[in-house]
Amino acid sequence: PEQALSNTALIQGDGIFLLKDFARYCENDKICRRLRDLAEKFRTVRRSIVLTGAAIEVPPDLQGDAIPFQLGLPAAEDLLPGVKQVLAELNREQHIPLALDAAAMSQLARNLVGLPEEEALRALRKSVMARGKADMGLLDAVLDTKRETLKTEGLIETVRRDTSFGDVAGLQHLRDWLGKRKSALTPEGQQFGLVPPKGILITGVQGCGKSLAARAVAGEWGYELARLDAGALYDKYVGESERRLHKALELAQKLAPMVLWIDEIEKAFASAGSSGDADAGLSQRLLATLLTWMQDRESGVFLAATSNNIKVLPPEMLRKGRFDEIFFVDLPDAEVRAALFALHLKKRGRDVAAFDLGKLAASSSGFSGAEIEQAIVAGLYTAFSSKQQLSTEILIAETRSTQPLSVTRAEEVQAIREWAKTRAVAAD
């Protein structure tokens, strides 16, 4: 690197000097000093140095002479020419059948958004070669390949959109709220003056369907769904955690329209409510980054966050305007418990009419949705081991032998309910 800079200094005439992947050398004091000397020398002539890299941290001594410029991820229209070229090449050279019209080509490019151009076209080639043809099935195939690619980065994971409110029992108030806001996503609603919703925070008793509800929003609206792993943001290197969050939020914007799901958001930002000594202020900086994005982001990304312990979140995250609404999910009542039994029995191929849902609901007072599902799972094991069919009696025996969370942690459940009385809207 020193020799490269020395050669740059000797070249006469105007010029732009491109130093590829040079970022890692900028931390070296000698290299930094040499760059400063060149910047001083080039100030009066028409010469510039361009440093490229995946992530460049400009040293403080160079910040006065350097202008950082970050290239964003390509949009669908940027990817479309490359998509057409790759498919044409595969058709010509590999004799891959091509059965996609112009509209399908455009959708294919949209499905690849979120990846750098080279990675996107590589994912396209991989998907086509695996299928041996380029037809409408390729649209889902590239989404699967993209999910795997993004998953390896550990930042944001696109999730298969296979959940809707048909898979959720209860939560009628939340359903109604989302149904009204869906109209703001239409051209007619926007022309009327409706503001697209920004997001919701769902809190409540553990096991009552908070995460399922967050995922169901994407299925209900027909949006892409991506999960931000809050725990994966933290890195041992200074500045790397903030860079990871910036990158994840930029990616979310590129995937729009989409639902960004942050599960158990308190795991990433709970420490921001304290002095910051526990992590040298890192969680506070991450919180500031997220709040700025929540305030300034363009429409198209709906934030669906869940929290098991909302009381530890910093107040600035909960103030009005950050989220459109904070919903509280309580333990299901008898009607919803009956619906939950029906839903999970049907999912496991059982005839719901063969069960007394009223008795099952009565025997499971205080149970969460997750506990009802586990009672059915346990009942299936009992029935199979005793060579019987699953029955109402077996399920009642399972519920009677279970101590639900509302009993074992009654004080915590009551504390959550008391908090939500004046600070959240009931989801059901």
Same domain, residue pair 293 and 195? yes
Last residue of a domain, one of 31, 62, 93: 62
Torsion angle of alpha carbons 182, 188, 189, 192, nearest 10°?
A: -170
* Residue 139, H or E segment: helix 137-153
Tokens 């008795």 belong to 359
Q: Quick check: is 427 in a domain?
A: no
Domain check: are 265 and 372 in the same one? no
Per-residue confidence (pLDDT) for residue 329, from 0 to 100:
94
Per-residue pLDDT of the chain (428 residues; tens, 9 = 90+): 778 888 888 788 888 888 888 777 777 888 888 888 888 888 878 888 888 876 666 777 777 777 777 777 788 889 999 999 999 999 999 999 999 999 999 989 988 888 889 989 999 999 999 999 999 999 989 988 887 777 666 677 888 777 888 888 889 999 999 999 988 888 888 889 988 898 999 999 998 989 899 889 988 888 888 888 777 776 655 567 777 888 888 878 777 788 999 988 888 776 655 555 556 677 788 888 888 888 877 668 899 999 988 888 888 888 888 899 999 999 999 999 999 999 999 999 999 999 999 999 999 999 999 999 999 999 999 999 999 999 999 999 999 999 999 999 999 999 999 999 999 999 98
Task: Examine the fold and report which residue of 101, 129, 153 is the final residue of a domain before the chain moves on.
Answer: 153
Buried b (16+ CB within 10 A) or exposed e, 91-123: eeeeebebebeeeebbbbbbbbbbbeeebbbeb
Helix residue ranges, H only, 46-136? 76-93, 102-111, 117-131
Confirm if 53 and 18 have CB atoms less than 8 A apart.
no
Do residues 97 and 184 both lie within one domain? Answer: no
Domain that holds residue 40: 2-62
261 with 288, same domain: the answer is yes
Q: DSSP string spanning 311-329?
A: GGS-HHHHSBTTBSEEEEE
The letter for the amino acid at 315 is P
Same domain, 215 and 363: no
CA dist., res. 274 & res. 268, Å (int): 13
Question: What's residue 397's pLDDT?
Answer: 97
pLDDT of residue 153: 61
Q: Which residue has the tokens 């809207």?
A: 425
d(CA 270, CA 265): 8
Is the same domain home to 128 and 189?
Answer: no
- Verify that 175 and 261 share a domain, yes or no: yes
Closest-CA residue to 158 (of 106, 113, 105): 113
What's the number of CA atoms in the CB half-sphere (13 Å) around residue 184?
A: 14
Any residues with CB less than 8 A from the CB of 389 and at least 6 apart, and which? 383
Quick one: pLDDT at residue 274?
54
Kindly state whether residues 317 and 340 are assigned to the same domain.
no
The answer to the question of residue 210 being in a domain is yes
The DSSP secondary-structure symbol of 409 reads T
Flag whether 67 is in a domain.
no
Report how many domains make up the chain: 4
Please report, for the domain that includes residue 80, its CATH number.
1.10.8
Asked whether residue 100 falls in the same domain as residue 245, the answer is no
Domain identity same for 325 and 339:
no
User: 244 near 259, Cβ under 8 Å?
Assistant: no
Same domain? For 297 and 342 the reply is no
| Secondary structure (3-state) at 306 | strand
Residue 104 within a domain: yes
In a domain, 47, yes or no: yes
What radius of gyration, in Å, describes the C-alpha atoms of the chain? 27
